[in-house]
Amino acid sequence: MVSRVIPVDDFDLVIFGATGDLAHRKILPGLFRRFTAGQIPASSQIIGAARTDQDDDAFRAEAAKAIREYAGAAEDDPQLAEFLALLGYVPIDAKGEGGWQELKSRMRPGAVHAFYFSVAPSLFGDIAERLAGHGIADDDSRIVVEKPFGRDLASARALNATLAQHFTEQQIYRIDHYLGKETVQNLMAVRFANVLFEPLWNAQYVDHVQITVAETVGVAGRGSYYDKSGAIRDMVQNHMMQLLCLIAMEPPYHFDPDAVRDEKLKVIRALEPLEPADIVRGQYQGEGSDYLTDAGDADSRTESYVAMKVRISNWRWQGTPFYLRTGKKLRARTSEIAITFKEPPHSIFDDSGHPKANELVIRLQPNEGMNLKVMIKEPGPGGMRLVQVPLDMSFADALGPEGADMPDAYERLIMDVIRGNQTLFMRGDEVEAAWAWTDPIIKSWEEGKRRPEPYDSGSSGPEEALRLMHRDNRRWREIRA
C-alpha cells in the first residue's frame, strides 16, 4: 500500500509548559511519532518554554527521557537523535518580560508558527498578551489552548474575550482530545458516507442512544484539580457533549470547520434543561480505593460519576432520549456509543420469537470498531427460529500494512494545527453554549449540597443510575472492555 502520510509544512512550534506532565506524556512523544512517520519536515523547530532555567541540551535530554518512556523509543534510536536536533528551549516566565525577545529571534519567517499553551489556564491571557505585545505572533500564527476552557459560562466568556484581544477565532485551536480519536472521525464517516444509516437516524426509528465513557482509573495524584471539577466539568461539558453532538447533528453541507461546528452548536442549543430527576451523581468508595481519600477531603461532595437522561428538542430527536454516563473506578475501561433502534412494528413469524431491536454499537476504545446486531434465522434444520447475531467490524481490520501508523488523538490534532484545519477543534461559541447548558445543573448541585450516591470501586456505578433506566423500561449496556 502506498504511504498516506502527507508531510505538513515546515513549522516552528513553541510549547509553553514544555517541562510539564502533558508535554512529557503526550506532546513530545506524539511529535516524535509523527517525525518517525515522516510527517514532520526535518527543517522544523520545536521550542520548549517554561520557567525552569536550562539550555537547549538540557531540554533535549529531558525530552529524550520522556520520549523513551512514553513513546517507547530505544536508547540508541537514530531517529530519536535526529528528532532531538529539532528541539530548542527558551526560559520564559509567562508573567515576566524576560526571554521573549530570545524567542522572537528564533522564530523563522516563512515557517508556520504555532504556540501550544500547555500551562494552567490562568496563564493563557499572560502568554497571549506577550506573544502579541512582543510582536512574536503574527496574523497567521496559531495558538493551541488546553482544557479546561473555563469552569463556567462566565469564565469561559472571559477567556474567549481575553484571547480575542490578540487572536482571531481562526487562529485559536481549543483542544478536546476526544475529537482527535480515530473512531470519533469514523463516526462521521459511518453517518455521512453511507446511505444505510442516515434514513433511520431519527426519532422515528431510534428508540434511544447510550453514550458511555467508563474509566478504571481514579483521581489519585490529581485530586486537587479533580475535586474542583468533578465528572460534569471534567468529562461531560466537553468530551461527552462532543460525542453527543456528532451523533445527533444534522449532516453538515461540507466537512469543513465552520460547517461541522455550526451543526454541533445547533445540537447544544437544542438541549432541554435537565430535571434533577434525570441526573444521578456518584462517588467511588472502597478500601484502598476511595474518592474521599484520593481527593484529600473527607467531606468532598464532588462527583466521580454522572449519569443523565438528555433530551434534544428538535424535529429529528423529539422523543428519543440520550442516556449519558461517565465515571472513574468503574468495572472496565470502555468508551462506546450504542444506538438502539425500535423493534419491528409487527412480526410475521409465529412461535419463532419476536424480532429484537437492532443495535449499532460504535466502540471508541479499546478495540475500536462497530458492531451491528441483526436478526437472522437460527442456522440449521430447526425450522424458523429467530436469533440475534452481531455483524462485527474492527477498524484495525481496515488498516492494511500501514496499520502501525495510527496517530493518537494528540498527534492528529497537533498536525491539524500545523495544517490550519480547525474541524476537530471547538469554536468559542460551542464552548460557551456547552457551559450555558451545564451551569444550571452545577448550580443546583452546589446549592443542594447533596452527597453523591456512593458506589463501589470496580462496580458499574451507583444503583440509582440503574433506576434512571429502569423507570423507562430500559437497561444500561454492561460495562466491559
Query: According to the binding rule CB under 6 A, does residue 146 interact with ligand NDP?
Result: yes
177 marked as binding residue: yes
Residue number closest to ligand NDP, CB atom: 20
Place of cell 508535554: 23
The DSSP 8-state label assigned to residue 232 in this structure reads I
For ligand LXAUTJHC, the closer CB: 60 or 331: 331
- Binding track over 188-217 against ligand LXAUTJHC, x by CB under 6 A: ---------------------------x--
* Cα–Cα distance for residue pair 27/119, rounded to 1 Å: 13
What is the total residue count of the chain?
A: 481
Q: Which three cell numbers stand for residue 445?
A: 448541585
* Cα–Cα distance for residue pair 164/396, rounded to 1 Å: 41
Query: According to the binding rule CB under 6 A, does residue 146 interact with ligand LXAUTJHC?
Result: no
- Asked if 49 contacts 93 with a C-beta cutoff of 8 angstroms, the reply is no
Q: Which of residues 5-24 bind ligand NDP (CB under 6 A)?
A: 16-23
Which region, judged by CB under 6 A, interacts with ligand NDP, from 143-151, 160-168, 322-330, 440-448? 143-151
Tabulate helix, strand, coil % of the chain (nearest 5): 40, 20, 40
Among this protein's residues, is 239 annotated catalytic?
yes
215 marked as binding residue: yes
Query: According to the binding rule CB under 6 A, does residue 182 interact with ligand LXAUTJHC?
Result: no
Give the interface size with ligand NDP as a residue count (CB under 6 A). 23
For ligand LXAUTJHC, the closer CB: 335 or 358: 335
Nearest approach, Cβ of residue 215 and ligand LXAUTJHC (Å): 5
- Asked if 288 contacts 274 with a C-beta cutoff of 8 angstroms, the reply is no
Place of cell 467531606: 299
DSSP one-letter string for 380-407: SSS-S-EEEEEEEEEGGGG-GGGGG---
Question: Which residue, 214, 215, 203, is CA-closest to 476?
Answer: 214
List the single partner that 251 binds among ligand LXAUTJHC, ligand NDP, none, CB under 5 to 8 Å by kind: none
For ligand NDP, the closer CB: 119 or 246: 119
Q: Which three cell numbers stand for residue 193?
A: 458516507
Angle among Cα 257, 142, 150 to the nearest 5 degrees reads 75
Among 147, 208, 309, 363, interactor with ligand NDP by CB under 6 A: 147
- Asked if 197 contacts 190 with a C-beta cutoff of 8 angstroms, the reply is yes
Q: Which three cell numbers stand for residue 408?
A: 493518537
Q: Which of residues 153-172 bind ligand NDP (CB under 6 A)?
A: none
List the single partner that 93 binds among ligand NDP, ligand LXAUTJHC, none, CB under 5 to 8 Å by kind: ligand NDP
List the single partner that 338 binds among ligand NDP, ligand LXAUTJHC, none, CB under 5 to 8 Å by kind: none
List the single partner that 22 binds among ligand NDP, ligand LXAUTJHC, none, CB under 5 to 8 Å by kind: ligand NDP
* Cα–Cα distance for residue pair 336/477, rounded to 1 Å: 10
Neighbours of 435 (CB within 10 A): 24
Residue number closest to ligand LXAUTJHC, CB atom: 234
* Cα–Cα distance for residue pair 13/142, rounded to 1 Å: 9
Query: According to the binding rule CB under 6 A, does residue 411 interact with ligand LXAUTJHC?
Result: no
Query: According to the binding rule CB under 6 A, does residue 180 interact with ligand NDP?
Result: no
* Cα–Cα distance for residue pair 62/48, rounded to 1 Å: 11
Among 118, 186, 283, 358, interactor with ligand NDP by CB under 6 A: 118
408 marked as binding residue: no
Query: According to the binding rule CB under 6 A, does residue 50 interact with ligand NDP?
Result: yes
* Cα–Cα distance for residue pair 415/421, rounded to 1 Å: 9
Place of cell 440475534: 388
Nearest approach, Cβ of residue 477 and ligand NDP (Å): 27
266 marked as binding residue: no
Q: Which of residues 352-411 bind ligand NDP (CB under 6 A)?
A: none
For ligand NDP, the closer CB: 179 or 247: 179
Indicate which residue of 208, 239, 254, 470 is catalytic. Answer: 239
* Cα–Cα distance for residue pair 264/191, rounded to 1 Å: 14
Q: Which of residues 283-342 bind ligand LXAUTJHC (CB under 6 A)?
A: 335
Q: Which of residues 80-109 bind ligand NDP (CB under 6 A)?
A: 92-95
C-alpha dihedral (111, 117, 119, 124), degrees to nearest 10: 130
The DSSP 8-state label assigned to residue 68 in this structure reads H
Tell me whether residue 429 is exposed, middle or buried, using C-beta atoms within 10 angstroms of its C-beta: 0 to 12, 13 to 18, 19 or more.
middle
For ligand LXAUTJHC, the closer CB: 99 or 180: 180
Binding-site residue ranges for NADP(+): 51, 147
> Which residues make up the interface to ligand NDP (CB under 6 A)?
16-23, 50-52, 92-95, 118-121, 123, 146-148
> Which residues make up the interface to ligand LXAUTJHC (CB under 6 A)?
215, 234, 335
Catalytic residues: 239
